[in-house]
Amino acid sequence: MTTRSSVGEELKMDLAIRTEHLTKIYSQRLIAVNDMNLEVPRGSVFGLLGPNGAGKTTTLRLLLGLQRPTAGQAQVFGKSCGPNAVGVRSQIGYLPTNPKLPGNLRPIEYLDLLGRLSRLPGEVRKPRISALLRSVGLLGATGQRIQTFSTGMCTRLGIAASLVADPPLLLWDEPTAGLDPSARRFTLELIRELGKTKTVVVATHILSDIDQICDHLGVMHEGRMIFTGSMQDMKQRLRRHDFTLELEGAAEDVRRLSHEVANLEGIDAMVDTGQALLVRIADGRSRSRSLADILKLVDASNLSLQAIHSGQNATENAYLQLLQEDEAHGFHR
Amino acid sequence: MDSTAKTSKIGTRMMPYMAILRHDMKTLWCSRLVRLWLGATALLTLLLVGSNWSNFQDGTLIASLLFPYLVFPWFFVVVVLGVTPVSGSRTETLADGILCRPVSRFEYLLATWSARVVLVLSVYLVVIIPAIVLVILAKRPVPEDTVTVYGIVTALCVVGLVLTFLVSLGFLTGTLLRKPLLAVVVLIFVWYPIGLILSFFSLEEFSPISLNRAISTQLRHSWRETDAEAKDNANVQDADVFTDQVTNFFSVLSGVQPKPKASKPDFFEGEKFDDFSLFRVTLGYGLPTIASVILASLCFYWRDM
């Protein structure tokens, strides 16, 4: 018979990361992480979302033991994190935002150094370095010193560096920052691929990245974790139904249409970026009927309809809604 | 377990330490500061040998060659080399690259400290040993001197120990203050008037100038100068004096009236410090070196990266 405590233990074992009341206060002045309780399931691609300064990077650094918590504790695969938690760090591959790399080294030298730091024997290290450099598309740059690398190349080398020890957990901080579209696509594809065999935590404020790759999500705001759950849970929080109508015609006509739409029951409308009309449909009102009513008004106006966008920014809206709710809670937060 | 397996286990365990040591030594060796220092120290040694070729006896000439390392100007380079590893912009690179790997902070600190010590001692010995060999073997128009191999080795070790202490002091200050420039300025203000500071604690014997003055005497000491019994007595006496010095140091530090000065040991000749006790100098510089590394480790352990 399974006892309740053993079930609890099993659940803990299924977690890659677990924090309890994790708090970080800098110099008794700045609260970077505020009483955070976080659980990241093993094998998930977890998006850590939040505006700049929300405490995402601090959280990752606390997990790595680069910083010490003011209160609370963090565990990775059941082991406590801390400055000398070598066992924890051997399970983690970390990619910092715009990684600072030793400019005097060449890529192979750098990855070899990191392989040695991870105590990898030569017969494992060498082939892995070659494979990684090939995977991140830096085979052609092995003769160059790192100081000559572009931002994108540095990020790709940083990605390779985080994978040298083949760790089961990856903590990637803003992996797409400063990347051109093709490099960005490559990185997102890689995260999706790695997510099949590893637990990946991606800290970012770019919502579309999260939308594309993550199956679980945590939203941070002012050091607090204001939401954790699956992407499905997150999208279900979006109580409003939004459409964006792209129109062609005079700005005055768009404004007039906006007033007419806003007069319909349970529908709110506002002009967004000149020629676009953002329409929000209240809960409980039929989307199709509302849209039909709106389209009738468009047809009656002097405007021509170019496109209708729906649900494209569901995550963004849910995210913004969460932030607004958190702000509105005030003292009760 | 066979010895190969044991060796490979130790090798695997030491791998991060050796990797950081090699990386740091390579980086330091490529730095302009070290290359300039090597060139400058070689040039200065050559100038000193050339200008005093026919003036000084072996012992005095060797002591004059060691002067720049003990007193001025190389202490400046040595403390700068000690200050840099865990301070300033390097900290970020460090956190991103090394400390997020399975490496303990102590392992990292010990490896970077070792790299600096090895580099400083290498530069010092690479220049000074050929110069000493030249001075000893060359036929110079000066009276014969009684410099011994034991004397040369011990004198080189004493200067090496002082340099190791300086690296460690720089290391500790850099770790404590975090800003390299500030750390260097503080060290200059501490090390320049070190004679004055040491005299405040009645420890003039350990000041670099006193050591340099006594080195020419040390160079003339031989290994079997005293019989075993006399040597044992000297060691006991040295240990007693060293204990008194440590007690006095802490008394002054805590504001308690120090004990009245005991009679001077035999090897002092009227405050001139023409000789020193190897035992006490080793302890006097060795213990603070170890203390500096331990304090730097503790300080680094508690620091957020």
* Predicted confidence (pLDDT) at residue B221 exceeds the cutoff of 90: no
Q: Is the pTM of this model over 0.80?
A: no
* Predicted confidence (pLDDT) at residue B199 exceeds the cutoff of 80: no
Interface residues from chain A to B (CB-CB < 8 Å): 26, 61, 64, 66-68, 83-84, 86-87, 89-90, 92, 94, 96, 99-102, 104, 110, 113-114, 116-119, 121, 161, 165
Report the 10 Å Cβ neighbour count for B223.
Answer: 11
Instruction: Determine, for residues A114 and B93 on separate chains, whether the beta-carbon distance falls below 8 Å.
Output: no
Identify the residue with better confidence: A89 or B261.
A89
Which helix (H) or strand (E) segment is A92 a member of?
Answer: strand A92-95
Q: Which one-letter amino acid corresponds to residue A167?
A: P
> Chain B: residue nearest A84 by CA?
B104
Q: How far apart are CA B157 and CA B149, in angstroms?
A: 12
Instruction: Determine, for residues B304 and A67 on separate chains, whether the beta-carbon distance falls below 8 Å.
Output: yes
SS3 content of chain A, % helix, strand, coil (to 5): 40, 30, 30
pLDDT value at residue A29: 83
- Nearest residue to B302 via CA among A94, A58, A82: A82
- The size of chain A, in residues, is 333
Instruction: Determine, for residues B16 and A119 on separate chains, whether the beta-carbon distance falls below 8 Å.
Output: yes
Collapsing DSSP to helix, strand or coil, A254 comes out as: helix
Q: How far apart are CA A39 and CA A44, in angstroms?
A: 11
Collapsing DSSP to helix, strand or coil, B1 comes out as: coil
The mean of the pLDDT values for chain B is 81
* Predicted confidence (pLDDT) at residue B209 exceeds the cutoff of 90: no
Residues B48-68: pLDDT tens digits?
A: 999 988 888 888 899 999 989
Instruction: Determine, for residues B15 and A104 on separate chains, whether the beta-carbon distance falls below 8 Å.
Output: no
Chain A hits for B100, CB-CB cut-off 8 Å, are: 64, 66, 89, 92, 94, 96
- Nearest residue to B195 via CA among B187, B205, B185: B205
Instruction: Determine, for residues A89 and B301 on separate chains, whether the beta-carbon distance falls below 8 Å.
Output: no
Distance from CA of B299 to the nearest CA of A (A): 12
The CA distances from residue A325 to A267, A331, B128, B196, in Å, are 21, 12, 72, 66
- Nearest residue to A201 via CA among A187, A186, A218, A189: A218
Chain B hits for A26, CB-CB cut-off 8 Å, are: 304
Residue A178 sits at φ, ψ, to 5 deg, of 75, 15
What ipTM score was computed for the predicted complex, to two decimals? 0.76
Chain B hits for A64, CB-CB cut-off 8 Å, are: 99-100
Residue A144 sits at φ, ψ, to 5 deg, of -85, 150
Residue A251: beta bridge partners?
Answer: none
CB A279 within 8 A of CB A285: no
Structure tokens at B128: 């000074």
Report the 10 Å Cβ neighbour count for B136.
Answer: 15
CB A245 within 8 A of CB A258: no
- The size of chain B, in residues, is 305
Structure tokens at A45: 């691609």
Which helix (H) or strand (E) segment is A37 a member of?
Answer: strand A30-41
Collapsing DSSP to helix, strand or coil, A304 comes out as: strand
Residues A176-195: pLDDT tens digits?
A: 887 888 888 888 999 999 99
Report the 10 Å Cβ neighbour count for B175.
Answer: 23
Which helix (H) or strand (E) segment is A170 a member of?
Answer: strand A169-173
Distance from CA of A210 to the nearest CA of B (A): 24
Confidence of residue A1 (pLDDT cuts 50, 70, 90): very low
pLDDT mean over B4-9: 68
Give burial (CB, 10 Å; 0-12/13-18/19+) of A44: buried
CB A205 within 8 A of CB A52: yes
Nearest to B16 among A83, A110, A116 (CB): A116
CB B105 within 8 A of CB A84: yes
Distance from CA of B100 to the nearest CA of A (A): 6
- Nearest residue to A116 via CA among B124, B249, B24: B24
Q: How many CB pairs under 8 A join A and B?
A: 81
Q: How many C-alpha atoms does A209 have within 13 Å on its Cβ side?
A: 28
Q: How far apart are CA B140 and CA A104, in angstroms?
A: 47
Residue A117: beta bridge partners?
Answer: none
Q: Report the b/e string of B267-289 with b at 16+ CB within 10 A.
A: bbeeeebebbbbebbbbbbeebb
Distance from CA of B239 to the nearest CA of A (A): 38
* Predicted confidence (pLDDT) at residue B89 exceeds the cutoff of 80: no
pLDDT value at residue A127: 94
Q: How far apart are CA B131 and CA B149, in angstroms?
A: 14
Residues A271-307: pLDDT tens digits?
A: 876 688 888 888 777 878 888 999 999 999 888 898 8
Residues B125-179: pLDDT tens digits?
A: 999 999 999 998 888 888 887 888 888 999 999 999 999 999 999 989 988 887 8
Best B101, B104, B105, B305 residue to mutate vs chain A (most A CBs within 10 Å): B101
pLDDT value at residue B90: 61
- Nearest residue to A257 via CA among A271, A239, A244: A271
Distance from CA of A172 to the nearest CA of B (A): 12
> Chain A: residue nearest B298 by CA?
A83
Identify the residue with better confidence: A324 or B298.
B298
DSSP result, A207-226: HHHHHHH-SEEEEEETTEEE
Chain A hits for B297, CB-CB cut-off 8 Å, are: none
Structure tokens at A151: 């931002």
